[in-house]
């Protein structure tokens, strides 16, 4: 019997109608093609990317740039790593289903790699942790841009960034793997305060210096971000910031905003 990681936030965070999702992605790409000043960025081939995970109306433009670039790398497997918002979790849980449900079509999960990570790094499978939007909202992008790719979903809770960095390092030893780090930035400050706090997250990525994360970055996926920075530094990957904005860009409300960024590691 095929086990399926069911859509938990379809119709809330992203449309349930596949046509609507595709229309959104096409719209964002048209904006990029027409307005991006430095077109050479669109040819980058990332090994890993950082993307936000809010509702598509707020953050999908920011995520789309990074996901579109990931297509240039032609990975056979995409590992999505995101924080647990719903359940307390010691360590990290890897999704051990056969497939991941998506409105654009189900995506196969690489069960062999799941078994490998469980054995090598002691990752568990806690089904409750996988009703998680931080990872789920990335799947329609992957299905759209990399229709042949398999995926892996890792949701972390109380985890050591150095341990997660080892997992990422092991995954990136295989050139067919790409890593997606999911995080939003500061939550519900006014625009000015949000820009200030988020600047520490952006500097941490830009300089590959995790110490900036402790200076004021309030990303919900800060731990995953730190793990990625640690491994990027070790591997000599170059960070490229792709987009930064807040929910105010979509809502117009500057009193309580959420920050979003996307970045590529090449």
**Mean predicted confidence (pLDDT) in 199-215:** 97
Q: Is residue 7 domain-resident?
A: no
Average pLDDT, the chain: 97
pLDDT digits (tens, 9 = 90+) for 112-128: 999 999 999 999 999 99
Q: Is residue 129 domain-resident?
A: yes
Is pLDDT of 199 > 90? yes
The Cα 221–Cα 124 span in angstroms is 19
**157: buried, middle or exposed (CB in 10 Å: 19+, 13-18, 0-12)?**
middle
Q: Is residue 143 domain-resident?
A: yes
Q: Is residue 1 domain-resident?
A: no
Q: Is residue 12 domain-resident?
A: no
Q: Is residue 208 domain-resident?
A: yes
Helices first, then strands: H and E counts in the chain: 9, 11
CATH of residue 108's domain is 3.40.830.10
Q: What is the pTM of this model?
A: 0.97
Q: Is residue 172 domain-resident?
A: yes
Domain total of the chain: 1
Domain residues for the domain of 25 are: 21-33+45-265
pLDDT digits (tens, 9 = 90+) for 229-266: 999 999 999 999 999 999 998 888 899 999 999 999 99
């Amino acid at each position: 019997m095929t086990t399926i990681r069911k859509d938990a936030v379809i119709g809330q965070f992203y449309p349930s109608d596949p046509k609507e999702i595709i229309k959104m992605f096409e719209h964002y790409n048209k904006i990029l093609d027409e307005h991006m000043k430095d077109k050479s960025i669109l040819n980058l081939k990332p090994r890993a990317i950082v993307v936000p995970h809010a509702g598509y109306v707020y953050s999908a433009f920011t995520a789309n740039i990074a996901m579109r670039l990931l297509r240039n790398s032609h990975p056979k497997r995409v590992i999505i790593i995101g924080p647990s918002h719903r359940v307390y979790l010691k360590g990290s849980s890897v999704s051990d289903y056969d497939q991941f449900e998506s409105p654009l079509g189900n995506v196969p999960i690489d069960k062999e790699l799941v078994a490998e990570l469980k054995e090598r790094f002691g990752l568990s499978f806690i089904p409750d942790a996988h009703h998680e939007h931080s990872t789920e909202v990335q799947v329609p992008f992957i299905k759209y841009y990399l229709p042949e790719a398999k995926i892996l979903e890792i949701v972390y809770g109380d985890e050591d960034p150095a341990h997660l960095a080892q997992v990422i390092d092991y995954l990136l030893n295989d050139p067919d793997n790409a890593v997606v780090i999911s995080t939003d930035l500061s939550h519900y400050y006014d625009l000015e305060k949000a820009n200030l706090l988020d600047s520490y997250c952006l500097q941490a990525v830009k300089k590959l210096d995790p110490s900036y994360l402790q200076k004021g970055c309030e990303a919900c996926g800060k731990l995953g971000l730190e793990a990625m920075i640690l491994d990027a530094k070790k591997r000599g990957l170059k960070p490229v910031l792709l987009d930064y904005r807040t929910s105010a860009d979509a809502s117009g409300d500057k009193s309580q905003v959420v920050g979003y960024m996307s970045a590529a590691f090449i």
